[in-house]
Structure 1
Amino acid sequence: MTTSSMASLQGVSSSLSSASTSSIHPWSYDVFLSFRGKDVRQKFISHLYNALDKRGISTYIDNELERGEEISQALFQAIEGSMISIIVLSRNYAESKWCLNEILKILECVRTIKQIVLPIFYDVDPSDVRHQKKKFGEAFSKLKGRSEGKVELVLKWEAALEELANMSGLELKNYRKESELIQEIIRWVDFRVVNHTPLSVAKYPIGLESRIQDIYQHLSIGKNDIVCMLGIFGTGGIGKTTISKDIYNRISSQFEGSCFLKNIRETSKRAGGVIQLQNTLLSTILGISFDVSDIDKGINVIRHRLCSKRVLLILDDVDELVQIEKLAGDRAWFGSGSRIIITTRDQQLLKISEVDSEYKLKILDDNEALRLFSLHAFKKDEPLDDYVELSKQVIKYAQGLPLALIVLGSDLKGQSIYQWKSAMDKYKSFPNRNIQKVLLVSYEGLDDTEREMFLDIAFFFKGESFAGVIKIFDSCGFSPVHGIQRLIDKCLITIEDEYVLMHDLLQNMGREIVRLESPKEPSKRSRLWFHEDICEVLEESTGTNKIEGMIIDMPEGEDVIRLSPKAFVQMKGLRVFINRNASFSSGPNYLSNKLIILKMRGSFLKELGMGFKFKNVTTITFDECNFLTKISDLSSISNLKELNVRRCTSLVEVHDSVGHLDNLSHLSFFDCSNLEIFPTSLKLRSLHYLDLRGCSSFRDFPKIECEMRYLHTLNLAGTVVEELPVSIGNLTGLDHLILSGCKNLMRLPINSILQMQHLSQLGIGGCTNLVKKMGDDRQSILATDSTRMEDEISSSHEEQVHELAPPMNSRNGSSALQVLNLQNCFQSKSSFFPISSFFIVFNSSATLKFLYLSKSEFDSLPTSIKGFVALNYLYMWDCKKLEEVLELPPNIRFVNVQGCKSLERFPEVSRILEFNGSHIRSLQQINICGCDKMHEKIWNYKVPNSLLWKGHYDATVFPENEIPGWFRYQKEFLENEIVKRGDNDFQLRKNEEWVINIEGPHYLKDISGIVVYAVVFYKEANYMDTIEDVEITSNSSNHVCRINLSEGVSLHHNNTTEVGGKYYVRVSYSDLESFKVKVLENLRVQLRTDWASFRVPYYRSWGANIIYKKHESRAHKRRKMD
């Protein structure tokens, strides 16, 4: 059981208040290394330091000290200045007074500045550290011998070592090599450095402090039994994002999880944008990768995984109610004490969302505005003497809008008084009420090329990748690197996470600039974006050679444009044409040869290439063009880098020339279901990505004629490809090979595939026609099922497989395979060779982390599975014939055998449920729901009299809607405590009687731990992911022990309830060591009531039981439950 002692939420108010008045801790180092030099300095520490350094992680070790410097003070300062302390506990560590004093200082920093600690048990066991035994204890005894008369200090050392040993750490003995332990440390540190790195706020945070103090008053600080939602609103450019970032930096450490979800308005407009936001939210808070593919599923996952977590969530730049509904639709989605902050320009949106409080962000006053402007214009908080009056004029025009002050300050920086006066004269031409026109001055300071780039970004490329925009501008003949840097310097754009961003006020300014080129005649403007202007030009054939680009984004219900046959004839200067959602009544007969970007949706064009000579085009995208049947010769388009033809269901043929476009980097024919004729060979040296998913008529994969080392993803899922050529080995840089659902696939060159040193994901799930065959060319080939093939599989086939396909870690180079999907592959013994042979072929034991074998027909999991030492996740659900699972890999975390109705032998489950503990320390959950034979055996099992729990395992879930009779302390929920809401929904009333009191005293030396159970009803199986917590307190200690009931062995009873759901009994365990006392007085065991408005689950009964280490201890006097 993962146990932790944590302070209760009392005092959050003061914590937040102190955070509001103090800056973020200024870390000098990411990591401080504490170690005993003579044990580990030369090898382990040296290698660890180098690995950290290569990752850019700032690390302090004591050999940085200069000779003669006062060591203690320097070390203590380094500890205080480090975000993370890594303590390498080796055999002689406790012999050093200095090492143990370092521990005392580190633990002090844990309490005072929230420092993070990772203990490394290097050739010592945590119990040896905890009790100072064996070699570690001998070293400590030497130090104690030298510390006579310092009893108090020795006691502090002992307590510190015990506290350290109780922390979650890493043990060298769990890794085959030191290098593997070092890589795990790097991953651990990477995640925490990123998560604890503060967000970039503002170069000069003028005016933030007073506003943040006001906002704290709206956050209901001190009310920790509620979920509070706050809305911050104001005009664009006023600083909503900046101030919410600052709040996030100050208080995020007070929560169990936190996420700043930025750019929601922009992201949600993209295809799959809301799903992307959901995945980001989950991944950031929970610290693991998510790949939710459906919005509704995402809602359920958020609700179920976060409902008992106290989180801080900031939804930045929301402009539609649906965005809130999909990301934070109900307070019940989050644990008690959570805070949700929404920033928006629309106050009405906050009213509809029923936030608890609204805060209108005010503009800067004149003094604040002058300081902010001066810092950007002069790099000091007040103007130079000669510029005081001019600066006041700027402040008057900017009217307190931070964005305008920043842009104008940057524009005027370094200019002479004459230039300032000239600029002020320009300002006077525009009314003060129109801040956009103030920003125009910055635009006028650009040269012609920089202006063109600015306008292109404002119209077409805002939100696009920085690298992509650079390539486009390079194709346009601009000087993109210099030009974009100039725009950044002028504060006209920003680059965040490798994307080009621009404030809305600046984007609107750009659009207004172009509108003013010809206020009354759209056809004489350089760029078009307003749908009415575009319809006028295209339907009335009024286009001219002045038009360089247009982007079409039609309102809902107005998506059809009646395209004139000559609509594009006069647009000879057209460089960019992007159609996001309009449907055309016919295809264009002409497009400019100057075209660089062509993105079409719903075109009536029947053939791409005929009559069009796009010698400059770099990107072509055709989506849902259902009249398109053929892609003709594109050999003349030598600059083409991206070709996307997606969901064009009439497309049949792609010309051979497409396979020989030297500059092509991205090629997709996603969901072109009638595509049959494809280039017979590929020679695409620059290709990075090839997607043929859903091309359900695509049969013949081409020969790879040259090394294509840049191709990282090849997706053929859902095609009818029958075989892959041996030349697939020329894809030397391939990272993802997806063949899922290729039901006709009969031959696969295994050796060619497994020689790919960068291949990390291989998916052949649902390839039901694959069988084993030995090829004449000594390739390991998987071929179609037939009686003839069956004859070729001799009784010695495993030896043959070993000969032809040796284990991956013995091949030249090193395997990188981490994900292997074999779902729905093994269908019958007559059509497939034994699964054990397949394991030999795909033996990626050193790297494989995820293995999918679900919906397959094999009766036993091969014992060779234990050789997969890196495997963490094993999925075998709905394997109807699976009877036994005798072995598991040593580092497995999660096993799913749900729905394996024939399964009856699973020793690991038996060990856990017999309270003998799992042999696998990493194991967190086994899902055996629907394994009827296992359920029957488990429920009939008699708990041993000793009740000895030797393991560390987390949770067990029994079938039935009852609890085992050996639970001494039980409570039933009364009818008035369970509320039925409609046919399918339930909730619990808040009730302080959800507490079990177990009288003491209890001596920890006699207790193995405490077991807690709850009878739970779930409407659907996926609700079992819900995190349920039990809190245990004692009047002997200030610590709180929290037990998680959501992990462990999951089962359900076959009988359904009146509403179609199922009952589960969850049982979980804690060793109670976190209390750190010898005697526990009364124990208070409380089922958390945070889910009072949660839909499901609901609880029928619950209870607890003390587990004693010896049989005679159970004769202890019977406790009386309150």
Structure 2
Amino acid sequence: MLESASFEMTKSSVLVRRLMNRFYKQLTTPRSIYPSSLGRTLQASGASVSLRRLWQVPSNRKKKFINDQADAWREALMKVGAIKGWEVKKYKGHGELIKLVLEEVMKKLKTKHRLVTEHFVGMDDQVEEISKLLDINTGGVRLVKIYGMGGSGKTTLAKVVFNLFSSCFGKCCCFLEDVRVKSSRINGLVDLQKKLLSEIGHRAGTRSIDEIDYGAKSIGEALCNKKVFIVFDDVDNNEQVEKLVGKTTFYSGSRIFITTRNKDVLRINRPNYQILDYEMKMMSIDHALELLGRHAFDRDSPPDDYKDLVRQIVYATGRLPLALELIGSFLYHKPQDSWKETLDKLRRAPHEDIFGKLKISYDALTSEQQQIFLDIACFFIGEDKMNAIYMWKDCEFFPNTGLDVLISMSLIKIVENNKFWMHDQLRDFGREIVRQENPTNPNEQSRIWNWEEFLEATRTNKSHLQMNQKVQALSVDISSRSSRDVIIQSKEIERFEHLRFLKLARLTIVANATNHLPRLRWISLSHTARIYKWTNMYLKNVVILEFSKLGYIDDSRLENIIKMATKLKVLSLESCHHIIKMPDFTGCLNLERLALIQCYQLRKIDGSIGKLKYLIDLKIDHCNFLEHLPEEIGDLVSLQYFFVKCAHMKKLPDSIWKLKSLREMHFSNCVDTPDSENFWELPSAIELLQSLEVLQVESHNLIGQLPSGIGSLPFLRTLNLSSSCVSVVPMTISMLPRLQRVELMGCDGLEALPTLPTSLTHLRVFASLLIVPDLSNLTNLVELELSDSPGARDRHCTGELWWLGRLSKLTKLSIKFQKVHPPTEMASIPLLNELAFLGLDLQTFPPLPLSLQKLCLDSFNPTVSLSPNLRNLSCLQLFGSPMQEIQLDGLQLPHLQELLVLNCVLLERLKLSSMRKLKDVKVEICLKLVEIQFSVVFESLEALSITGCKSFKRLVCEIANEVNSCEGRLIFLSRVLDKLRTLTLRRCPEILDIRVVGTSESWEHFGLEDCHYVPSLGGLSNLKNLKSLSIQKCSRLRVIEGVDELEFLDHLALSMCESLERSIDVSTTKLPNDCHLYIHNCKKLRGFQEGFDGSVQSKVNLNNSLSFSFRFS
């Protein structure tokens, strides 16, 4: 008892002292307690009330400590009584006191706290990440630089972070806003220096500052002995930071936070502090919807009748926070007509305020960089960067420097496969820059990228006969038009004499091309485009030539083209089926990239290819009649990238091993069975390829042992021998210091793995392994897929998996072995996100890490206890369960979002009672499944797919008292599935009727296939925002009710529904005119007996011209 009381006394004393520290300099308003009386009470009572529990201690024991503890209490509470504050009784009423308190609070906070928008949405994760980077509880100095495009939320994030941590630095914190704008003014940097010194408590030192260098020196002297927190908002060059903090040696614990559009600001770490970069993340769809909803409706989600418009506005703005705030505020409680009008404007150009914000970055570019930016915005998003670089180099736009600047200023990104990426708002901004060159006349704009403007520029008046020096780039694709036989005269293009980029698709160009277009650098022709008599076309300055699906290009025409295009750098031929032999290449010796793709008749490549001394990249893909490559391939001294994938290619030429510049080799000729007459092995000469980084050979004809010389390739990063008959991987592979990825999938001849290098991060093996390999040394692995292939032999792989627990960096793991026991330790893999256990003996299940988000299991048995640490699991896939009923209720998976149940042949009933967070449910090939049960309203279910479940006939919802007693009758209750967006039913022959009950605003896609006994589909008029409806192979379907009410339908496909006959009159339908109709083999559907592929409007026009009645569902 005494020890307990002592502990309580000590704890209470410490607590009061802590409270005292928290109250220091805080504003205190005692209510019904007065400091003077508190002090007297304490002196008189000896804190008797607070120490009441102590008196319960026997008197012979409490004397040992009571005096010390009582003194500590008394001292602490006496200090509480001395705190300065307001006594309520001294004022006339609460109103007067509240006013005084508010005034004092504002006075105390006004110079530090930053005002943040009340609609703060979607930045919690970024605030947490920035907080980790700042890590204010550690010593040292850190500078965090956050970069991103204008309007992405950098300043808002900076304000939130400043408000969060400024109190930890007392007076020594400062937020300098709009540094870029303010520093550009007269004496702007000096004013910023004064503000910085004033904010951190050095007001006296600001009086003598009259020039920048002296100010920088003063700041350095002030900061070297203070722990400070400084935010520089919207910095755009190094000088601004240099003059504001100079070369200061910051005091330990200081934090500097910078927001900028320019990634290159302070890119190099300084000797006295560390610089950490952070890129702004794009706002998620859900958060964008919420942000727009708050500004437009003062609520997190819009009214039901606005949901589709809100979603379209979000897509049109590219989820840019600034755009969402401006548009939402502009549309605040406005009618739908205003929303639709605004949406139309946004699809053409950004909002004017957003435009002004983005133009700041554009104006900072040089004229050449602006040209590059506009080219990307208008033409090259999603395109390979290299072709554009060739054009820009020849135009002297200095693309390498220009692209670096655009990337650093967050105007573009280079993403996977070297492709350009640009934010939608920046794309629209760039195109609006071009439009503003002359808003009413495309002839006076520098770039044309849509068909309508092309027609306006060439055919609306007599100007199409005059020469034009404005248009630099032209891209026309008429794929969206119903007619593909559009004919233009060559003179309609040739008059654009400053044209440097020309891309045409699905056009026919007639008349003789002359020696116009001398500045043309890039020609791209595709699909049905035909050019007659073009032998005089001026190709002398062309550096990129792309032909795709041009049936008229044959060997002789190609030879003439190559002879004329002497500056050619890039030649790409795709689906040019009349090319049988590649011609003599001596006419284009500057060629650097050659691509031959799906030229199915190509049988020979001329040996002159060896003369292309500058060729860097050679790609031959799916030219399946090509059997051999010329030995002259070995003379391509500059070749770095070799990609050949041709089904009948026998083997690689022997000379290829002389290519000392080769960095990547990809070769594949996989066919169904190996060809014993063309077996080959990798030669020992492979060790000569000392620059090789990627070796990928996928060929059934590759056999035998890999040469030991493979271990002498110092730069090899990737080795992929999948689908080969390789039988031995040499021990020397462990000597490859940079090897990170090994793939040996489908290698049935491989029975063992050697010791692999510890540098490996990715390993995928599917082979006939005799023993489970010990991979405990591969501690850098982040992805491991290990699978036995028992098909080639009768016995199973043996061994243990104990070593898995040592691979602490794994994020993705897939193990498939028959009858092998799982490891006993898995919880020690803290980063594991995905786990698949297939074929293992799962009598017991090891504890799993808390990080796990995706789990795949076969032969699932709910009686086997899963780890209780699966609360973060978001995806569960169950294969081949022997159970007749699966209940997931007891698994405690509160965050499960995706569920796949596959090939559970005995399963009859699936219960999803407690799965409230599910978003996506797929059930496939469960032949005996009769029903799916749930007893809750699905809060999040967006997609439901049931495929190949031949016995399925019931969807049971207990909470709605809606048990489908009539088997085969599916009723979808919108109030239970209120978030459902996609429903797919395939090959479920027991379904006899489908009906939607209740209005749904979320449902967008409905697919029904191979459900032969469904006679009618009812209630579709309840699906107010349905965008896609596809019904196929439903032979007895006669009626689709409510199709005519689907106002937002984009796509309607009806195929092989032989009984469908009831229809609607298009003169009264609410289907949009641009809704695409695909009708095939619906023989009783009036007006469509022959099928149809086109828009509603085009069908109406056709009906009017043919004068017959149109009715279809």
Highest Rg: 1 or 2? 2
TM-score of the pair, normalised by structure 1: 0.45
Q: Give the alignment's TM-score, normalised by structure 2.
A: 0.45
